[in-house]
Amino acid sequence: MNKRTLGKNGLEVSAIGFGCMGLNFAMGPGLAKEEAIKLIRSAVDQGVTFFDTAEVYGPFTNEEIVGEALAPVRDKVVIATKFGFDMGNFPNLNSRPESIKKSVEGSLKRLKTEVIDLYYQHRVDPDVPIEDVAGAVKDLIQAGKVKHFGLSEPAAATVRRAHAVQPVTAVQSEYSLWWRRPEEALLPTLEELGIGLVPYSPLGKGFLTGTMSSDTAFGDNDFRNCLPRFTPEARAANQGLVSVIGEIAALKKVTSAQIALAWLLAKKPWIVPIPGTTKAHRLTENIGAASVELTAADLQLIEVALARIELHGDRYPAHLEALTGR
């Protein structure tokens, strides 16, 4: 698979990464540990070198799966994880420097590694100046425990403040054909500063694949049950977007998921999406998107088609949306 570079400090990763959260957290029943490890290793065999996890996924168990799966190839892959939630009182936040330095020790142990390649603040903590957060990660980088600093779902102004203390290598934010808010202020800021973007939920938590309808049922422990865009009414109203993507996919003789991922790859050379899946055939399908080329005419066709569609439903309930864009 082709490689891309995140940030000015040369963090090279596969053009398509792997978001590991859903392997055992938030998106349904998940996989048994052995099956999750097998899927991650299959991703490595197919050229994926970039794997994303977080201490809060599980909590903790997702990092353990990633660590065990990648231990045999640790020198060939890039592992990203995250800190910043109060693990005893989720979803409250805690990015105090002493908490960050405690979190990194747990993540290092669970990931079976001596250094974390990319360490994100999971959500910006309004009670801790971002300069203090950046300074704490800078200390970890100087100590050899972390290589690169990242932020997840920050405001553009926050990125600037953090970057002035410790260069930010990558920002992770939701970005896809049905969530384009990062285009307003975040993407121009990242381009100016030389920071990579890692879109999570690049397939709209599965909606953009065209495999869902208003009748699709989610399990009791599936996070999508609480998301306004995933009510049956919203899914029915947003089928127009899925139809447009499907029509373009048919013209290109690829899948809807591959169009959604190829669109992100075509936006900027420093964008690296991290789709997740629990299915081997979907993993191969996602990886195949790296070979799909969208021309300027294709991109214009998509823009014209999307301009006619009004999307329905918020992406998060209010209390979770409030944690973003700070």
Q: Which domains does the chain have, with CATH numbers?
A: 3-321 (3.20.20.100)
Q: Which amino acids are annotated catalytic?
A: 57
Question: Based on C-alpha coordinates, what's the Rg of the chain?
Answer: 19
pLDDT of residue 28: 86
CA 210 vs. chain centroid, Å, equals 20
Asked if 150 and 119 touch (Cβ cutoff 8 Å), the reply is yes
Q: What is the pLDDT of residue 117?
A: 98
CA distance 87 to 130: 20
Where in the chain does DSSP place strands (E)? 3-6, 11-14, 18-19, 50-52, 78-83, 116-121, 146-152, 168-174, 196-200
For 193, phi then psi, to 5°, come to -90, -10
At 179, phi and psi to the nearest 5? Answer: -145, 95
Q: d(Cα 86, Cα 91) in Å, to the nearest integer? A: 7
Residue owning tokens 């992406």? 315
- End-to-end, the C-alpha distance of the chain in Å comes to 35
What integer best gives the mean pLDDT of the chain? 96
Query: Which parts of the chain register pLDDT below 50?
Result: none
Specify the pairing of strand 78-83 against strand 168-174: unpaired
Please give the torsion angle defined by the CA atoms of residues 305, 310, 316 and 321, in that order, rounded to the nearest 10 degrees: 90
Model pLDDT, residue 324: 97
**C-alpha–C-alpha distance, residues 58 and 32, integer Å:** 13
Token representation of residue 208: 């953009």
Q: Measuring CA to CA, which residue among 95, 90, 120, 80 is closest to residue 26? A: 90
pLDDT at site 66:
98
Q: Retrieve residue 70's tokens.
A: 């990648």
Cα dihedral 149, 154, 158, 161, rounded to 10, equals 10
- Decide: helix, strand or coil at residue 48: coil
Among 148, 31, 151, 144, CA closest to 79:
148
